[in-house]
Structure 1
């Protein structure tokens, strides 16, 4: 059972996280408090489905902790990863705007804590706020650019080019710079990278091994990937 002090610290952390998200920071203090009060919180285990396609028009989602992947499921159960959302990200806003379902399923990549904001609350507090609408436009533009980058990557004719392009894209979204290069702060399995690049897991494993031997990247102990300067130089040529 959670102690009162621990619960207070957790709620304070939630408040700070929400205030750092532009959509919520545009609300005045009273609106913010009311919206926060209406957010439902759920916990999901690794590989648990967060939402199915038919549920996407009901809520906007806030990632309080952990990471989730947005996937398109093939007829034989194969996954093609469309996006990854981490702590502080929101998703599902597009379906609330047009009341249509999104052709994707969201799955927890690790134990995750998700906030659910209903369409009713979204319509009441967000759609009448000019500053929030500008932030929504910015989010939708960013989603479109990211989708275009992924589409460009998976249509490259060569498997190695696809993988390099996707890794470069992930480094821009989730990269942390240090003295060695850029660490992609996602624990991705070879199968998940294969889902991103639309190639086989065996091909991803072979290509990653080759890039390690060439000194372009390093596989770190926690399954994160270090992109070295040589990788970035080659990525500029794609």
Structure 2
């Protein structure tokens, strides 16, 4: 692909989504013609559970948290979505309402494909179905692991596993260690890991006192000793 092609492809949202990986450039451009681009400021709700599910959402940039609200008002974060992730596909197939709510953790850009346009794409490109099945299988595997971790791992192990995952996905290597940015509040981290805010703060302080991590403010953590951190979940 030459430079001009690359420049054009920068604006093809579908090109960053795994379920469209089997499509060629022309087909991707066709999908792009169906897409509506929408920006959400940090803290904006994309949709709430029980809202009609009319669109497939693709994360073009930014981060989105998916969460479930209980009847007593407790919020359980289910997953954090990033560039290239998509949401809403199950509801599109089952003609149901959204079962979860979605909120922008940072300023976020999305691409929206309507329910009917997406179904037509599947009919016209049957191989896309395999991409959808593969992506949903990965999500199911993630969900099973997440539930297992909540049931079997200690709070410290869950926290360490989460930090290691962040370091692997988006950590920046510096002379001091691996720098990771946290877009969640302490309360949201606790909610994600199935514990309390106080416990998260206490565990992070303990890791810092042992010189395994360094905390700067509430949004930045540097992993100073990756080997010691990994040892906490491998013992």
Output one character per residue of 1:44-82: Cα deviation in whole Å (capped at 9) or x when no partner. 121111111223632111111211100111334332111
Partner of 1:91: 87
Select the residue among 8, 13, 26 that pairs with 2:10: 13
Q: How far has the Cα of 1:196 moved from its partner?
A: 0.5
Partner of 2:197: 201
RMSD over aligned Cα atoms = 2.7
Partner of 1:176: 171
Cα separation, 2, equivalents of 1:134 and 1:28 = 16
> TM-score of the superposition, structure 2-length normalised?
0.83
> TM-score of the superposition, structure 1-length normalised?
0.82
- More deviation, 226-235/21-30: 21-30
Is 2:222 the partner of 1:226?
yes
Output one character per residue of 1:193-216: Cα deviation in whole Å (capped at 9) or x when no partner. 011012111211111111111122
- More deviation, 228-237/182-191: 182-191
Partner of 1:4: none
2:44–2:103 CA contact under 8 A, matched in 1: yes
Partner of 2:106: 110
**Unaligned regions of 5+ residues in structure 1, if any?**
1-9
Q: How far has the Cα of 1:169 moved from its partner?
A: 4.3
Structure 1 residues 171 and 156: alpha-carbon distance in aligned structure 2, compared to 1, 3 A threshold: farther
- More deviation, 63-72/213-222: 213-222
Partner of 1:217: 213
Alignment of 1:1-238 (within 5 A): 13-15=10-12, 17-55=13-51, 57-156=53-152, 158-172=154-168, 174-176=169-171, 178=173, 182-220=178-216, 223-227=219-223, 228-229=225-226, 230-237=228-235
**Unaligned regions of 5+ residues in structure 2, if any?**
1-6
Q: How far has the Cα of 1:222 moved from its partner?
A: 7.5
